[in-house]
Amino acid sequence: MVGSKALPASQLCRRYNLEALGFTDTSELEDLREPLGQDRAVEAIRFGIGVRHQGFNLFAFGPSGSGKTEIIRRYLEPEAAAKPVPDDWCYVNNFTTPDHPKMLRLPAGRAKDLARQMENLTAEVRVVISAAYESEDYRTRLDVIVEQFKLKQEEAFENLHKKAGEKNVAIVRTPMGLALAPSREGKVLNPEAFSKLPTEEQEQVKKDISELEVDLQAVVRMLPELEREQRREIVKLNREVTSFTVDHLIDEIREKWRDCTAVLVFFDEVQDYIINHSDVFRLSKDEAAETIPARMAADFLMQQERVIGNCQVNVLISHKADGGAPIVYEDNPTVENLLGRIEHRSEFGSLVTDFRLIKPGALHQANGGYLILDARRLVFQPYAWETLKRELRSREIRVETLSQMMSLGSMVTLQPEPIPLDIKVILIGDPTLYYLLSQNDHDFNNLFKVPVDFDDRVPVTDEAISLYAQFIATEARKKQLMPLHRSAVEQVMERMTRLTSDTERLSSHTRSLSDLLSEADYWAASRSAPRIEAQDVKHAVKAHIHRSDRMRERTQEQFQRGTMMLDTSDAKVGQINGLSVLQLGDFAFGRPSRITARVHLGRGRVIDIEREVELGGPLHSKGVLILSNFLAARYTNNRPLSLNASLVFEQSYGGVDGDSASSTELYALLSALSNTPIKQSLAVTGSVNQFGEVQAIGGVNEKIEGFFDLCNFRGLTGDQGVLIPESNVKHLMLKDEVVAAAEKGQFHIYSVTSIDQGIEILTGIQAGELDAAGNYPPESVNGRVKARLEVFAESARQYVKSGGEDKMSGAGDG
């Protein structure tokens, strides 16, 4: 056959032989201590968690399922354990401005002690105050105050009575109040008796009554002042008794907090608050129900609960004294879950709140340590990304609700004092999100200065193979699976190499490996085997593919039943089998397609029908545009390219993109121009550049297997095969059926570096090389193409000369 030879079966799939490692199964292998193939990422993690300057937060990115979170935790945990335990945080009542609660910063592990002590204190205070107010001493002193003011009142009235008696005037009580009336010998004179008195005496009595009325009014006005003074004395007594009762209780607690100035200030405020509200503390619920009217009892009890609660402590964050720095992973990073929230309760139909209803968020929990967040979930939560950036910039945690941020609603809420923030944030996401944020968010590079780039591929070396065996053993033990026999390890490594589509790489994608081992363990257990064998791994791979390949089977069925037209025998002009890949979820499969080309006289246009109907993507269109330049440069460099050509994927009803079919389309064009049939037993993939060099493409394994499955169904003849770029040979990890067919000579894989080499294999005719005169051999493919184009050029010249220039222009536009 003209052209290159088919690749030997040994080059179609990489096999692993682990005998040199000297183990029978993975139970004999040690655990892998360092992450496999993640040297760059590990270096970045160590740097990121070590540097303490602001803005050096981490963004770990890589393929989903590559074990990013687990690896980061592996290095975070010892670092966090060695760090000092961060302080505890509490909120207490602001007795001056209740809607601005104060924060307390306490040594680690002491916040709960303070909260417990304050609960005990308020309970004791109620008991001792109630006892103090019921004591004999208090009642005696209270009686003295009451008696003193009673005596003052009586003395004032007695003096007035005496003065009035000296002037024969009596003080009488009427429905309208106290009044003055003339009297004789202790008896009040009625109007008739008074009128019988001498005129001078009447006038004197009237004068005396007028003077006494002034004194009476002064006494009456003095009574409220005496009552106020009495109340002040009682309050003074109550404060003195309460202070005497409470001071020693608070002093006992105060001694335990001499090292915390903020707590001592809080104790002083609580002490003064209790003294000012001693009347609330003195009554128990039962006493309140007995002494207060039922309509007012509920209000009093609610007030009592609020007053007592104001003396307590809301422990926001409390740490164990020996726990190290916290590591927090927040799975749902909403604004409330990051900042905390302010809850409300219903009181008589209204929503109210206080400092005790402030709840912590992930930033509080991770303060002084590390916070791990899923970047994608973070940016998709309303306001969460902007909120996190604001807190990191200000280095403070401000508990706010979304309604406060957006200035919505009029519900009563709080503005707690912000808490200082000292935290290292680790975002975990995919590379696309990292680069989008880096390019479009101006704050991102200032706040997340440490990229942690995870790779999911390991170069295949002797050392890497040994480490990869340990990697498999480690994952199996971690998931408590059966040990793997050496042959099973070899099969796993072959599968993981297939996932990279590169024989020189092994996939370190943790989730894919873990899933494969779990499935193999299931099949081994189903046959009651003591360990996983090679057959179990193969069974797992086939079962996994079978669960996902319904659409592949449906596509193959269309070719097998003749619904989709594709020839795998004979030879035809301008017709070739191209290969593409369809991706459905995490499953990809190859789909052969018939590509046809037609040529005629025109003005140098290669029409991409897919693009004309808007089914072709930009990369596919790019590949087609290269073809016309290739034809013009190679065959008509001294004259215009006088042809129109059309290319189409037959029976293609979806979008087409990528340039992997550009070499295939060029072969079809060369066949149509040279009138040389192309063998339909062969399929082609590969892109081409303007110099006719065949370039690498993706999905080579799936493409080959897609065409092989069709040929295998129709019957392998020994003439069938696929042309691939030589640069794709290192990517071949074909399934066993293809390799076996190649060993028997029933199916062939050809690697090509140029269009000339490929056209010789496809047609069985030499491509032809330029001689010294610049001509190709007449019977070569290139010679035929050049001759055909020269005929087109001459025809075009004659046509234009005969006056058909306008029509020629129209033909060219078609």
3-state SS string for 550-562: HHHHHHHHHHHCC
If you count DSSP H runs as helices and E runs as strands, how many of each does the chain have, helices first?
Answer: 30, 30
Residue found by looking up tokens 């990489």 in the block: 14
Among positive and negative, which fits the CA dihedral 298, 304, 310, 314? negative
Q: Is 355 in contact with 91 (CB distance < 8 Å)?
A: yes
494 closest CA partner among 475, 462, 468, 515: 468
DSSP string, 98-144: TTSPEEEEE-TT-HHHHHHHHHHHHHHHHHHHHHHHTSHHHHHHHHH
Catalytic residue among 660, 662, 671, 687: 660
Residue found by looking up tokens 């003396």 in the block: 311
Rounded Cα–Cα distance for residues 371 and 376 (Å): 15
Identify the three-state secondary structure at position 814: coil
Q: Specify the DSSP class assigned to residue 7.
A: P
Q: Is 509 in contact with 499 (CB distance < 8 Å)?
A: yes
Active-site residue flag, 196? no
3-state SS string for 290-310: HHCCHHHHHHHHHHHHHHHHC
DSSP string, 448-517: B-EEEE---EEE--HHHHHHHHHHHHHHHHHTTPPPBBHHHHHHHHHHHHHHHT-TTEEE--HHHHHHHH
Q: How far apart are the two ends of the chain, measured CA to CA in Å?
A: 39
Catalytic residue among 102, 424, 679, 703: 703
Q: Specify the DSSP class assigned to residue 532.
A: B
- How many Cβ atoms sit within 10 Å of the Cβ of residue 471? 26
The residue type found at 318 is S
Q: Specify the DSSP class assigned to residue 8.
A: P
Rounded Cα–Cα distance for residues 609 and 575 (Å): 15
Stated as kind and residue range, the H or E segment containing 69 is: helix 68-82
Rounded Cα–Cα distance for residues 308 and 104 (Å): 19
Q: Is 673 in contact with 785 (CB distance < 8 Å)?
A: yes
Phi-psi region of 675 (alpha: psi -120 to 50; beta: other; left: phi over 0): left
Active-site residue flag, 703? yes
Identify the three-state secondary structure at position 430: coil
Rounded Cα–Cα distance for residues 466 and 475 (Å): 15
b/e code 561-595 from CB counts within 10 Å (16+ = b): eeebebebeebebbbbbbbbbbeeeebbbbbbbbb
601 closest CA partner among 645, 638, 635, 632: 645
Residue found by looking up tokens 């693009």 in the block: 611
11 closest CA partner among 729, 786, 754, 693: 729
**Residue 407 tokens, joined:** 């200035």
Rounded Cα–Cα distance for residues 552 and 591 (Å): 8
Bridging pattern class, strands 102-106 and 88-92: antiparallel
| Catalytic machinery residues | 660, 703
